[in-house]
Every structure is written in C-alpha cells, then in structure tokens.
Amino acid sequence: MSYASTHEHLRAELDRVDAILEAYNPGEESERPESSGEGASRAEAEGPLPDPRELSLAVPEADRRQVSELTTEIRENCRTTDDTRLRIRVLAETCGLSRRHLDVLMLAVAPEIDTEYGTRFQQVHNHQSLVRPTPLFVENLFGCSWTDRLAAGTLVSSDSPLRQHDLIELQPSPAEHLGKRGRLITVSERIVDYLKGYDGVDPELDATLADHVKSGHSERGLANCTADATLDSLAVDNEIQSRLATLTDSAENGRRLYWYGPATEKHRAVEAVCSADQY
C-alpha cells in the first residue's frame, strides 16, 4: 500500500501521535523497556550518552508494540510511494531527521493541526497552561533511565537538527517553576503550512521583498540579468559543480529553486545553469 497524497501521510503520523499520547503515563513505571542505564547514577552519566535516535518509548510493552506496528506501516507505505511528494518525508530527508526527531516534530505540529491536542497536552502535563510538548515531556517520553533522559534532551538541544533548521522553537513556559525544561516546543507557521500542503510564499520572505521594493528597487526585487557565466568559470569545488551540472542537463520546466551561499558566486551560478541569455 502507498500514500495517495501527502495528507494521508500526515494523517497517519497524527494517528501515531494519538497512540503515543494514549500510552504515555509519567507515573507508570512498570513494563518499561529495560535499559543498560537503568538506575544509573549521575556519575555514570559523565560517560557517553545513548544515541537519542535509538531511544525507546518509555511506555508499557503492549503500547510500545502498537506504536511500533504503526511505525512499520508508515515506513512501508512511504517506501512504496514513488509518485507522490510526501512533505514530511521530504522535510525529514532534507534536514536529516531521525524517527525520534520526527516524533518530536509531529508532537509539536499536532496542536497546530487540531486544537484538541492542546487539551490532551494539558492532561498529560496536568497543567492548564501547558498546551504544547515541553523538553521535560520529551525527556520523560523517551527516558527509561537517568542517562536516557539526558540523551532525550538532546533531541531539542541547540545542536539538534530540529533547531539548526528552525523547525521548532522553544517558547517561554507559563509554568515558571519548571524552568527551561518547561518551555513550550512550538513549530513556525511556515513549517505548519508546508506540512498542510500549502504553497504560499513564506510571510517573512514576502515581507522582505516588500521592504526591498520600498527601498527603491524594482517591483518585488526582480530584474532581468544577462546570463554570461559558465560552469567552468565558477569558483566552486568539483562536488558543487557536478550538482550544478545536473540542473543544466535537466529537461524539467517550471522549477522553483532556492539558492544560498556567497552572493557573487551564487548569482553567477544562476547564470551558468540558465538555458536562456537572460534570467
């Protein structure tokens, strides 16, 4: 079976979030998966932390099996989906997200899709103001031991791909007594809109272009430029040159490409792959 649309994949991921939240009980210690770090002391935590990508859900075994079955089903459906652009998959592959990173992202996205999830997080936290997941929740969800909880915290730390790519943000907590671990994990509007299937221009980019126009530049910051540069003339390494060559060889039309890098070579690279005399 495959997904007919990106929305089917999104719905499946939200069903998986449902199963996780149903299983989560921070006061339930029985039947949790065994961990080599079970009962580890703070001194032991000074050694290498477990790989956060390999952490198990700290929920009863039966519930963990149910979530695992949903995970396998999603993975298999994604594997057999070739003709449909699955936006969650694109985001995960582009940003290097593991299944655990994706879990955190989907838990944070869920309240933006359906406000009922906000109520469920209130119940999970036993706090009316906490309507989003928090770092403390993430630690407890994947923490079967002291070291596991430390490792789980890295899923939302500053060097996590979720934050390096601005997929999530940590907002001040309304429950001040919880400190930084009680901050709300939120997702920016542009990411939510993308996962919903919207194709509008990023509001921040739109505002930047509007300011560009106001500053006296051409409409929407656009201008016709002569395409004189060649691939061989670019000051780039062989790997980048090979990637650029695939753009010149492509027969695909109507593409939207996003460029980044030093301004001069970035602009010359656009010229080099342009099939016309102007762009």
Top pLDDT among 24 and 223 is at: 24
* Whether residue 61 sits in one domain with residue 10: yes
Is residue 209 situated within a structural domain?
A: no
231 confidence band (pLDDT: 50, 70, 90): confident
* Whether residue 100 sits in one domain with residue 158: yes
* Whether residue 161 sits in one domain with residue 41: yes
Give the range of the structural domain holding residue 246, as residue numbers without chain letter: 224-273
* Whether residue 153 sits in one domain with residue 40: yes
- pLDDT over 70 percentage in the chain: 78
* Whether residue 85 sits in one domain with residue 158: yes
Lowest mean pLDDT of 31-40, 55-64, 156-165, 244-253, name the range: 31-40
Is residue 193 situated within a structural domain?
A: no
Number of compact structural domains in the chain: 2
- Is the pLDDT at 216 greater than 70? The verdict is no
Mean pLDDT over all residues of the chain? 84
> Is residue 259 classed exposed, middle or buried when 0-12, 13-18 and 19+ CB atoms within 10 A define those classes?
exposed
Average pLDDT in the 198-225 region? 67
Phi, psi (degrees; rounded to nearest 5) at 137: -60, -45
- Is the pLDDT at 67 greater than 90? The verdict is yes
* Whether residue 165 sits in one domain with residue 118: yes
* Whether residue 139 sits in one domain with residue 21: yes
Is residue 231 situated within a structural domain?
A: yes
* Whether residue 231 sits in one domain with residue 110: no
Average pLDDT in the 46-74 region? 92
38 confidence band (pLDDT: 50, 70, 90): very low
Q: Report pLDDT for 148.
A: 94
Q: How far is CA 271 from CA 36, 163, 227, 231, in A?
A: 56, 33, 4, 9
Average pLDDT in the 181-197 region? 93
